[in-house]
Copies of this chain bind each other. A is one copy, B any other.
Amino acid sequence: MKTSLVAVDFHGQGCADCAVRGFSVCASLDQFEMREFEQLSRRVSFASCETVFAQEDRSSCFYNLLDGVMRLYKLLPDGRRQIVGFVLPGDFVGMTTEERHGFSADAIGPVTVCQFAKLPFGRFADDKPNLLRRMNELAVQELNQARDHMVLLGRRSAEEKVATFLVGWRDRLVELRGPSNIVPLPMSRQDIADYLGLTIETVSRTFTKLERDGIIAILPGGVSLRDSARAEALAAA
């Protein structure tokens, strides 16, 4: 939970060769805007488990994940934790008009982000309807995911929760890296539990049940979807 930076590059090393150029916010910018935008950004790396920002921090920056995985979570005063999302490369994080973030973000494994100071970013975006529309699009998309997750948390059984998570996580990785039924799980069982509103023991038991039923195979660092049709059925149910 230290928050020291591990590496800093002022003004990135060019957006042109950025891995997430095509599908993040910046996709909405033209060549010239891009050049200007580049000046606002800064590449920053974090080591595994470092906190990128915390719930109570003043929200002075936005982040665009370039590499690695992050978890976003909220803590109750007594320490209960709810993970509200996992972040993959290309995802835009921290957008808010509030004074403080309202949730924390930390690195699951080493992470590189593209960081923007909120104020100059705001000034830059102010007269760029295409960028504003793109940000709207992203916010609405996240809102839809959030609502889907509410259904999961409020109305689904442990088995459905785990299956839904695995299928959803696979689908996100497929978008990013191409089709495969091998699903790497960089996050811990505790993270999965806190994402699904379960305990670590229930997650573990459910994994083994799914394995016994021939739906998945548990591998070191992930699972394989042996019977993705049945997994998807559980997820849809």
Contact = CB atoms under 8 A, between A and B. Distances in A.
A168 to B, nearest CB: 15
Interface of A: prevailing SS: helix
A153 interface: yes
A197 B132 contact: no
Interface string A126-142: 11110011011101111
A147 B103 contact: yes
A202 interface: no
A155 B76 contact: yes
Contact of A155 (B103, B148, B149, B197): B197
Interface in A182-210: 194, 196-197
A151 B76 CA distance: 8
Nearest to A135: B136
A220 interface: no
Contacts of A129: 126-129, 132
Interface string A10-33: 000000000000000000000000
30 contacts: A74-B147, A74-B151, A76-B156, A77-B236, A77-B237, A78-B237, A82-B150, A82-B154, A84-B147, A84-B150, A95-B136, A96-B140, A96-B144, A97-B137, A98-B140, A126-B133, A127-B129, A129-B129, A129-B132, A139-B140, A143-B143, A143-B146, A146-B146, A146-B147, A146-B150, A150-B150, A150-B153, A153-B197, A154-B194, A154-B197
| Complex A-B, nearest 8 residue pairs according to Cβ-Cβ distance, in ascending order | A154-B197, A153-B153, A146-B146, A139-B139, A132-B132, A82-B151, A153-B154, A80-B155
